[in-house]
Structure 1
Amino acid sequence: MALSSYYAPHGGLSPQTDLLTGRAVFTTAYAVIPKGVMQDIVTSALPFWDRARVWIIARPLSGFAETFAQYIVELAPGGGSDRPEPDDGAEAALFVVEGCIAVTVAGRTEVLQPGAFAFLPPSSGWTVRNTSGDKAVFHWIRKDYDKVEGLDAPPVLFADERMIAPTPMPGTEGRWATTRFVDPADLRHDMHVTIVTLQPGAVIPFAETHVMEHGLYVLEGKAVYRLNQDWVEVEAGDFMWLRAFCPQACYAGGPGNFRYLLYKDVNRHPKLGGPFGSRP
């Protein structure tokens, strides 16, 4: 597969001469965080991380994401953490968009370059370090693992999208395809992180309306995306959050492919008994 060019934020700050009009949208059904918002002023520092800054683009919050948190992590050379995850119940998915990082888990170290993916189960004790001489940027998706009696947690997984043949959607001749890092039939997994590719002019030809919450980070290209009742222009570097049952559709704009990193919660019963499944 040909090498892709993934968008990574670089921070900075808009000059005083810029107009403040932007494309940011926050509603009860969806949110759009444009790439221009991801400047120095909105980065976070984290305990036990060094030479690192983080854009937190989704977090569990009333009226926003319910099932996951998503970070864009930038590591300077030598930066990283030996205690990255503070929650023993959290699983992680990493996807590298710039530079390279070394991830160590269970005595195994993998050097991940752009296009590389890692799944890290709860309590795996993973660490991460930028061992190169250049900056590294990766996505870190965190989710509280939803245990099921009789099912083990999934094992550690490393993969590379360039080594995976995209799965075409039926009847599209490959114009709309999904790169799957894990087997969708593996019910040990309670989230899927995939890459969706639409070629120029390709469409999602109906308003998807379903139970899965989505996080979409645009890696490449541009499109017009249907979010609830609105059509919104998006481009590489933008992030979209869609709550469960928010209608969605898409027209890919070209001239190149439109590609996004997609999170969704899968393979579990909805929780009953009150808000977010908590019984009184």
Structure 2
Amino acid sequence: MPVEKLIVYVISDSIGETARNVVKAAMSQFYGKDPYEIKRFPFVTDQNTLSDILTNAKQQDAIVVYTLVEEKLIEFLEDFAQKENITTIDLMSDMLKKISGRLNKKPKREPGIIRKLDESYFKRIDAIEFAVKYDDGKDPRGVLKADLVLVGISRTSKTPLSMYLANKHIKVANVPLVPEVPIPKELSDVSSKKIIGLTNSPEKLNQVRTERLKALGLSSKANYANFERILDELEYSEKVFKKLGCPVINVANKAIEETAGIILDIMKENGLNIFKDGEI
């Protein structure tokens, strides 16, 4: 005799949304507009809670679909279900066993790990959006919200470093230094531990600025690439760095990764939180 209304309990140690979607996809093969009900129970991490849910599932003659990774909880659920004759479907264990066999590696068995991965992704996106919003001094208020502020004259790798560090979940604002333009007053409210000055050799600056002008179709004789102008800018930036009391890194002949590594070391020494590779 067909069931009038099938009830499915989705039990997860995380959000349970993936399991819910799998159940919906399966149900679509049997139901059109016919009734069925999915009851989702997220963040189930202890036996008492699990016992209460399974008792209700028994009373409602429900199928139990679960994505649990803790072996003790799985054993408890299956023992309970066997005694009470509850139909269960384990969406996770068989997959973990087969992947484990291929990789010859044990799974972490850590509840909610995919949610943490998602959180890591969104933190990275948030930091990247921050870097874009507060790039090149677009809004000086950004320095007050930033985890780190990079200051330096043009062509000292401020933007690429900001984006690289954003991928480490670090919110970076960068401020260009121009002798004719006063530095943002907001910088005086930022701890020197959160500010890093960037400089470059005059020869390297002359080279990269000349190439930049050519790429823009402009004359290489423009003041932007003038050697005397570059020396003036470097002298000005040194005065600003001393005033701010911040560490200074010369990026000449350094890859972005190398400079970023130095910055991360400085942040760590100053007690600032940083993202570690492999960290979730």
| Structures share fold, TM-score greater than 0.5 | no
Greater relative CO (CA pairs within 8 A, separation 6+): 1
TM-score (norm 2): 0.19
Higher percent of residues as helix: 2
